[in-house]
Chains A and B, each alone.
Chain A
């Protein structure tokens, strides 16, 4: 078991507002962590900070990803080294087909690691299998990235991208919001297929529902930009029953 992510006393500002305040979190390979918390507690800020979004400034503290200080790496380097962010609101890119986009992403990563382009046939075989697994029809793949996709299709497409890019650390930002129960099961099966002893997941969610299908090793409760309680799946169940009030306002 090796350490994949190590966050020490992290403070993050957006504009002049401090959103993350003194966060500590360690994630090792093979682990799945869930972060829960009320709206505005800083969960999505954490996800975007790890991915390197330019609007989120680290005021102090460090995020180590394996041997790298993430602050030294560009957005695309983080990705090419295995950090994946499943977006809460996946972006549409009209006219650029999902297939072309995925191929560009995979080949960018391969280039970063000094590998040649993936052969078209290997790529298509892999894509066919994984899109079937995520219940995405072939015709969707030739449409523009997320163009005209329903909420559920967009989220399943995020998981498809994750499976295709084979990251080490997958951060899923409210991937369950707006999903019906069937789509949620499909998303969960994708995430479970990704779990193995070499990878790690950080799942950000409001609700316990998704965690019934993806059992996390740890559940953290986020409040005012820091973790105020850590437990296991039982903590998520308690939250579902009692709300956040008993923790945030004892």
Chain B
């Protein structure tokens, strides 16, 4: 038995209710049968139904069952988004089992959920090398490349997927992601819609369509897409997050809060989700709760720069300038090339009355993000005006 979308000579698409991830689990079954060298290769489906008094299991089948149990528990943990535990289970597998496409894809997914895109990419690249025919999971691979803005890698993957199997919903998602990275949102949408046509219960394709509509500011259609995704997979937290994002942008902060909380209920170990919830709470005039959420976000992932950035923003709005300054100073060390950080530093220094440092940081911001030049220039001009006014007063 093989994964449904794995191989080229797959039959024309029959729509089943089987979820795409579960069908991938068929591969280790095949592998495990190879392990049992003494016993004849067992096919799960050909096995006789269990008799009331089972024969004592042979050593080989015992080993196979143990392996399956471990794979299943890893997958179970991953589905509960206990990514760290899942990773530990998958890493405890024997070396030759770890080097299978399915396990590598699960490893990649676990890293992906923890925003460790570099590690996730490594796992997926290895999976692609070992099992180039595995299309199931490629959609996540492409999303990782999208996050890392690897245009060339993503184009290559898209070309490869399309050449291999045009009728795979996963391949369509890869191509859609590729166009999305090029900011061709309308073309990307066409491919995501095609993926939905090929597999009408593919929740992730709905979510990706939602993201594209949202990028085009078409909130109504985006909401419909996210809702469809949730209809097919209630535990698809990305769609809940998408809805939260849309309500946030529409300034309906109560709804945003509610939807982000729903996403967090599904995936309670996601640092970015806590960060977004913190932003929604802050926008909803609940700075204390927002700070709590942002602290959790930072606890979960020390490397989350956005959470620190937002924490500084909340502190700034609460007039705790000194605390904001310490937070931003840590942040500058983590992300020394980010213009927005310097821009905020400039703001904080200005509030503290340290105009020379404010000017230094604003000019740095100007160098790093020329796109916001207008805004930064205005801030610098304001600063100069105030300086001049003060000098006149002194005279």
Q: Do A and B come from one complex?
A: no
A-side residues, CB < 8 A to B, are none
